[in-house]
Structure formats: C-alpha cells, structure tokens
Amino acid sequence: MSVDAAVRQLRFRDPAAARALAAALGRVTRDIGREPVSVMHVCGSHEQAIARFGLRAVFPKGLNVIMGPGCPVCITDVPEVDEAIALARQGVHIATYGDMLRVPGSSRSLADAHAEGGHIHVVYSIGQALDLARSTTGEVVFFATGFETTAVTTAAVVLGAVPPNFSVLSAHKYIPPVMEIVAEMPDTRVEGFLAAGHAAAITGWGIFEAFVNNHHSPVVVAGFEPLDILAGLVRLVELVRDKQPSVVNMFPRCVSRDGNLRAQEQLWRVFRPIGGRWRGIAHVPNGNLRLRDEWAHVDARRRFTIDLTSLWDDAPPTLAHQCICGDIMAGIKSPSDCTLFGSSCVPDMPVGACMVSTEGTCRIWHQYGSAS
C-alpha cells in the first residue's frame, strides 16, 4: 500500500457519515417491526473491521449481526496444523502467515514447535517464503492458509519459476460452498448475508446469484472500511424488510459482476476443490482447495511422508470435543452457551477455533465482554 492510498482510505472512516448511516440502519431495522433481525457476514476481515472500529456499539439493538465461518485461521482444521508441525519436526522449514502460529493442532501449535527448536518462519506473503527457499539449501514448505483471496497468490507462485527446495502445504478454503451449508442448517436464523468484498473481487458478485435463487436469502457484497460495512448493512436490512432476495454489490470500486477472470483462471489451473472438514463446522463439499496432480512436484503432501504419528505421544485434546465453535459460527449458539468459554478456553490457551484468532467470535467476546 502506498502512503497516498492509506490516506485516501481515511475518507471511508468519516465520523459524520458513519453517524448518518448508523441512524439509517436503526430506522430500517425498526421498519421491520420485529426483533431480532439476524444477518450474517462470512469474513474475518469484516468482523475484524467491526471490532476494530467498535461498530457494534452503534448497531441497533434489534439487529443481530452474526459472525459466520469467515475466519481463515479459525477454520484451518486440526490435522492440517498437525501436518505443518510434523513437517517442522522432520527438519523442514515452515513458512506461514503470522496468526497461524498460535492455532492449536491436536496437542500443540506452531509457536510451541518454534519454542522446541523447529524452523518456523513468519512471512507476510508467499513471495517471502520463496526468498527464504532461495536463501537456504534446506527444504522450505509454505503452509498456505486462507480463502480464495490468498489462494490466488499461491496459485500465481506455483505457476511461476519455483526453487527446487520449495513446496506448498495447502490448507486453502473456498467460501461459496460453506454459505450453502450455513443456509441449509435446520436451526439457522440467518435472513441475509454480507459477502466479503475482497473474495468477490476475485470471483465476481455474479457467483452469488445461484445461491440467492436456491435459498431466497439476499446477499450484499461489502468492503471493509467502516462506511462500507454500515452502508452494506443498511442495504441488506432494506432487502430483508422488502422481502427482496437479490444480490447487491455495494463495493463497486473493487468488485464487478464477473470478477478477476485471470485470477480465476490461475486459481482453477492450480487448485481443485475437494470436500473436507472445516474446523468446528462440518465436512464442506468442495470447501478445500488442493493442488492438482500436475503440480505434484510442489505439493508438500506428495513430496514428503508426513509422519503424524510423531505427535501421538503428546497429550490428547481432552477438551476439544466439548467445543461448540461450529454452532457458534453457524449463528445457532453464543460463546456464553459454551462450558469451556472463559474458563478452560481463553486466548492464552485456546481449545476451539473461535478463541484462536483475533477474528474469532469467542476471542472477540472474551475481549469485549459480549458482542453488543
């Protein structure tokens, strides 16, 4: 980001405009005449921005903005973290994004592996992982997490010239299928979805039309500045009020109907969607992105025999089965319904997905007392 871009962005944080939008959100919610009106966002960056700017303090009381399964850190599954830890124990350099360090695997986290002498490197981009591979003779594995937004950066690298000692452990996830899961959950109360602007910049907003037709739930694509989120919510609640299931793009400065065709082409050339577990939620059909056979030479899963048994001697996750993160991310339950929340599960020693990341529901509730 350039300095100019950072300064321009401040326009979308204007306090007076934010107050006007918050007032409008209150009016539209009251128009509906019942409480609560429940909508869901499916992006950690949305929750991060809502928390970062303290927007819940200005949301109307009758509006329940549920945090959906949109935290890429939270939904990276235990076996995927274990694979990275096992590789580190096998002497491989693991490069990954910073907030993956504290995510618990079955018995420990990458931060623990680091404390035990494993070669764990925090990188800000896959490019830095490549640099690391070029500067060492050892094997470097990029532990690739995140949604289609970050998967395209991985794809671009795989398609380019890759050093011989570099490979990818893909834990990438694909968002559209999980929205189907949440919408189809029997207890779901979600009346509309706020979709992530950056993911839609890749996929295009058109991808949500089939979803709207199938589930009769409106979808609004929104950006990540406070005014983007407030304006997106106003539009979404209007669609709920008017019983108008349609897709509205409230982030036109970045998102088009078709999206970034070149990025899509690269994404699907490198990855294939397969079914797999999202931590705490469910098996998500087509929810995981794995490298296609063509890229086996950079696929860490095929390059190494990953010895997960090396982790079996460690303490088993005795509390993990009590975790209700799945229900929380589906909007069915609250952290306060969980027996672990705040006692056995706290940010310093998280049990479940949602206490791990600063974008996780439980972590945020723990920090702020409640979501309202």
Partner 1 sequence: MRTLVGDERILMKHGAGGRAMRRLIEEVLTEGLAAGGRPGDRGLKAMDDGAALRVGDQWLVITTDSHVVHPLFFPGGDIGRLAISGTVNDLSMMGATEVLGLTCAIVIEEGFARADLVRVQQSMRATAHEAGAAIVTGDTKVMGRGELDGLVLNTTGVALTDRVVSDAALQPGDVLIVTGTIGDHGFAVMAARHGLALDGALQSDVAPLNDMIRRVLRAGGEGVVAMKDPTRGGVASSMHEMASKAQLSIVIDETAVPVTEQARAASELLGIDPLHVANEGKAVIGVRAAAADAVLQALHAHPLGRRAAIVGRCVEGRPSVVLDTGVGRRLLMEPEGEPLPRIC
Residues that bind partner 1 (CB under 8 A): 1-3, 5-7, 9, 13-15, 18-19, 44-45, 48, 51-58, 72-73, 97-101, 104, 108-109, 111-112, 114-116, 122, 124, 128, 131, 145-147, 149-150, 198, 226-227, 230, 315, 318-319, 344, 347-349, 358-359, 367-369
Q: Is the dihedral of CA 119, 124, 130, 131 positive or negative?
A: negative
Residue 108 tokens, joined: 């420990």
Closest CB to partner 1 among residues 197, 326:
197
Ranges of H-type helices in the chain: 3-9, 15-32, 44-52, 72-75, 78-89, 110-115, 126-134, 148-159, 175-184, 197-203, 209-215, 226-241, 261-270, 300-303, 325-329, 361-368
Beta bridge partners of 188: none
Measure the CA–CA gap between 59 and 64, rounded to whole angstroms. Answer: 8
Name the DSSP class of 349.
B
Closest CA relative to residue 203, chosen from 153, 265, 145 = 265
Q: How far is the CB of 307 from partner 1 (least distance, A)?
A: 21
Closest CB to partner 1 among residues 199, 212:
199
Work out whether strand 93-96 and strand 140-146 pair parallel, antiparallel, or are unpaired.
parallel
Q: How far is the CB of 137 from partner 1 (least distance, A)?
A: 18
Q: How far is the CB of 109 from partner 1 (least distance, A)?
A: 6
Q: How far is the CB of 232 from partner 1 (least distance, A)?
A: 14
Q: How far is the CB of 292 from partner 1 (least distance, A)?
A: 23
Closest CB to partner 1 among residues 45, 266:
45
Q: How far is the CB of 233 from partner 1 (least distance, A)?
A: 13
Measure the CA–CA gap between 355 and 40, rounded to whole angstroms. Answer: 19
Phi, psi angle pair for 137, to nearest 5° = -95, -15
Closest CB to partner 1 among residues 218, 251:
251
Closest CB to partner 1 among residues 68, 218:
68
Classify residue 123 by burial, with Cβ atoms within 10 Å: 0-12, 13-18, 19+.
middle
Closest CB to partner 1 among residues 76, 188:
76
Q: How far is the CB of 114 from partner 1 (least distance, A)?
A: 8
Closest CB to partner 1 among residues 99, 180:
99
Work out whether strand 93-96 and strand 37-41 pair parallel, antiparallel, or are unpaired.
unpaired
